[in-house]
Amino acid sequence: MPNKRHRDKRGGARFPATDRSKSLRRTHSVKDLLGRLTPTLTRVSDQARTQTFWQMWLAEQLPAALCQRVSAVEESDGTLVIYAESAAWSARLRFAMQDLEPDARAARRSIRQISVRVLPRT
């Protein structure tokens, strides 16, 4: 009777050396690693800067009671999206933003549309 092949051989490689070198890419330095992350980090810092700008702008323009109910602000592709805590505050914010829409467009020329949505705080 022939010997059975062992499935868990310890001596042999699973993949040939040529396949392994193509599939695994090793980072040799921290500089290489950070070089690949730079576009991602730049995008995140730009989004944080934009969000801070709009939060400060809304704090200056809106009444304090209404501004406290804003849960988040986001700007993307020419649309300013303002999130309120609840549907009731969203309706109030929507009416307030109708009056402030020309001022918001003057603050940032890239804004074409303003949208108010509901996003409860966690």
Tell me phi and psi for residue 10, to 5 degrees.
Answer: -90, -25
In tens, the pLDDT along 81-118 reads 999 999 999 999 999 999 999 999 999 999 999 999 99
- The reported pLDDT for the residue numbered 105 is 92
| Domain span at 92 | 64-122
Q: How many domains does the chain have?
A: 1
In tens, the pLDDT along 20-42 reads 555 556 657 877 777 777 777 77
CB 116 within 8 A of CB 79: no
Confidence class of residue 46 from pLDDT cuts 50, 70 and 90? confident
Closest alpha carbon to 80 in 53, 120, 59: 53
- The reported pLDDT for the residue numbered 30 is 76
Query: What letter represents residue 1's amino acid?
Result: M
Residue 55 lies in a domain: no
- Whether the per-residue pLDDT at 45 is higher than 60: the answer is yes
Residue 10 lies in a domain: no
Query: What letter represents residue 20's amino acid?
Result: R
